[in-house]
Amino acid sequence: MKHQPSTRQLERIAYRRGRAIRSVLLAAASTAVVGTLLAVGITGAPGWDRVKQSFFDPDAAVKYLPEILEGLWLNLKLLVVCATLALTLGLIIAVLRTLRGPVFFPVRALATGYTYSFRGLPLIIVIYLFAFGIPGLRLNGTPDVLWLGAAAIIVTYGAYLAEVFRAGIESVHPSQISAARSLGLSYPQAMRHVVLPQAVRRVSPPLLNDTVALQKDVGLISLAGPIDAIRAAQIGVAQDANFTPYIVAGVLFVLLALPLIGVTDWVTLRAARRQNAGT
C-alpha cells in the first residue's frame, strides 16, 4: 500500500517550498539591485570614458581575439601535459619520501631536498633558469624553449603536489599496511592496492586546487618566448597601445578555469558530506 503523507506533513512541505521560493526571489532581487548600483556607479564615475577606451575597446577585442584564441590553444595543451607529468612526478616523490628503513635514507634526503628547494623557488626564476640558462650552455640536443619552460613548471608543481600526496599517504593508518603485509602483500603491493587509493581520494580537493593554480601559471610560458594567449595579447597591446587584449586574455583564462573550479567545489563538498556522514 502506497504511503500517503498526512495533512500536517503536506503543510510542512508546502511551507518549506514557499520559503525556498521566497529566498530565491529575494536573492535575485538583491543581486539585481546591487548590480545596477555598481553599473551606475562605475559608468558614471569621472574618467570612465578613458577607462572604457583603454581597457574595453570592442574593436581591439575583435581584432586580436583570433590570435589570442590560437595562443590559448597552446596554453591548453601545456596544461594537459604539465598537469599529467606534475601529478606523476609528485606521486613518485611522495612515495620515495615515505620509504622506511635506514637503507633508503639517501633517497628520502634527495626527495626532501627537492621538495624544499622547488617549493621555495619562485616559478619565474625556475623558468628563466630552464628556458634561458640551459640553452646558454650550448649543449647538443637541447630541447626547444617551449619544452624547457614546461619542464620548469612540471618540476616546480611536482614539489607542491608531492607534499599533498605525502599528506594523504601519511593519513592512512599504519595498521592497514601491516594488515596488508600479513595477508601476503609486498610493500609495493600494499601501497598500490591499499594505501594510495585511500590517499588520493582524501587529498583530491587540494590536488584539484593546485591544478587550478597550474592552469593560470602555464601562462608564464610566455616569458620563454612562445606565443601563447598572454604573449599574443602583449603583442596586441604593443601595436595599438590599448590594454583590451589583456582583458580578453584574462577573460578567456577565467572561462577556461571555471569548469575545473566547479569540479573542485563539487569534490570538496562531497568529501565534506562523506566525512560528516562518517562522524
The pLDDT tens digits for 61-75 are: 899 999 999 999 999
Written as one letter, the residue type at 14 is: A
- Cell 619565474 belongs to 124
Q: How far, in Å, CA of 189 to CA of 93, rounded? A: 17
pLDDT tops 90 at residue 84: yes
Question: Nearest Cα to 211, choosing from 255, 165, 252, 264?
Answer: 264
Predicted confidence at residue 2, as pLDDT, reads: 58
Written as one letter, the residue type at 263 is: V
pLDDT tops 70 at residue 194: yes
How far does CA 145 lie from the centroid of its chain?
23
Predicted confidence at residue 204, as pLDDT, reads: 84
- 202-252 pLDDT, tens digit per residue, is 888 888 888 888 988 898 888 888 888 999 999 999 998 889 999 999 999
All 3 cell numbers of residue 239?
A: 601595436
The model's confidence at residue 100, banded by pLDDT at 50, 70 and 90, is confident
Predicted confidence at residue 44, as pLDDT, reads: 76
Predicted confidence at residue 277, as pLDDT, reads: 63
pLDDT tops 90 at residue 80: yes
Predicted confidence at residue 155, as pLDDT, reads: 95
> Are the CB atoms for 96 and 165 separated by under 8 Å?
no
Burial of residue 166 (CB within 10 Å: 0-12, 13-18, 19+) is buried
Q: How many CB atoms lie within 10 A of CB 145?
A: 19
pLDDT tops 60 at residue 278: no
Predicted confidence at residue 17, as pLDDT, reads: 85
- Cell 584564441 belongs to 69
> Are the CB atoms for 239 and 82 separated by under 8 Å?
no
